[in-house]
């Protein structure tokens, strides 16, 4: 139960970061952050559903995330305009950094909980979330790396 509650809190934190970033941007950048918030809401709802099943005395039989995780999820290929808008905004750059940290923590926590869980369906679910969050992490890392030059350009920073 603690693992499910911890996961729900982490998902809510991610939702907040993504929704704030979506509100602070527009166009394709806002859409990207809104889409990520929606994915994190699905994760939260899956965790909430598992929590309800277990507290109701039911043992989940299958992996509730399997169908969603097996769907065609395409990692974004950010345009130069997207990267420029993220890099030029300290708020959006900070949101990417915060989201990266949240994804790393989610991967670590879900991996640990999968190993500790004695309910096979829940352990499988946690492993599914590890894969999903790892994909998020790598997408965000690419955005952070590729938008960094625009961050420094916007700050008018020049090396010594």
The secondary structure of 67-81 as a DSSP string is: HHHHS--PPP---HH
Query: Residue 160 has what pLDDT?
Result: 45
Largest CA distance in the chain: 65
* pLDDT the model gives residue 18: 95
As a whole number of angstroms, the distance between CA 64 and CA 109 comes to: 19
Nearest of 109, 88, 98, 80 to residue 33 by alpha carbon: 98
Query: What is the number of other CB atoms lying within 10 angstroms of the CB of residue 133?
Result: 26
Q: Which pLDDT value is given to residue 63?
A: 58
- Per-residue pLDDT in tens (0 to 9) along the chain, 160 residues: 788 888 899 999 999 999 999 999 999 999 999 999 998 898 899 888 888 888 887 766 665 555 555 554 556 678 888 999 998 888 999 999 999 999 999 999 999 999 998 888 788 888 888 998 899 999 999 999 989 888 787 777 765 4
Q: Which CATH superfamily is domain 2-154 in?
A: Ferritin, core subunit, four-helix bundle (1.20.1260.10)
Q: How far is CA 74 from the centre of its chain?
A: 14
Report H helices in 25-119: 27-55, 66-70, 80-88, 90-116
Supply the pLDDT for residue 78. 80
Separation between Cα atoms, residue 79 and residue 16, nearest integer Å = 24
Note the pLDDT of residue 139.
92
Between CA 144 and CA 153 the distance in angstroms is 14
| CA distances from residue 152 to 29, 33, 88, 89, 144 in whole angstroms, order as listed | 19, 22, 8, 10, 12
Looking at residue 155, the DSSP 8-state letter turns out to be: T
Position 137 scores a pLDDT of 95
* pLDDT score for 53: 82
């Amino acid at each position: 139960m603690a693992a499910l509650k911890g996961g729900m809190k982490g998902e809510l934190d991610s939702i907040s970061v993504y929704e704030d970033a979506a509100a602070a941007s527009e166009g394709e950048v806002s859409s990207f952050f809104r889409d990520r918030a929606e994915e994190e809401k699905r994760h939260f709802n899956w965790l909430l559903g598992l929590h309800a099943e277990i507290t109701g005395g039911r043992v989940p039989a299958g992996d509730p995330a399997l169908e969603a995780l097996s769907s065609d999820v395409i990692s974004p290929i950010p345009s130069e305009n997207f990267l420029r808008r993220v890099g030029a905004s300290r708020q959006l750059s900070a949101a990417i950094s915060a989201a990266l940290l949240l994804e790393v923590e989610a991967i670590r926590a879900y991996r640990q909980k999968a190993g500790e869980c004695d309910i096979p369906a829940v352990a499988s679910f946690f492993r599914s979330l590890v894969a999903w969050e790892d994909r998020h992490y790598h997408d965000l890392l690419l955005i952070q790396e590729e938008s960094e030059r625009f961050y420094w350009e916007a700050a008018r920073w020049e090396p010594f």
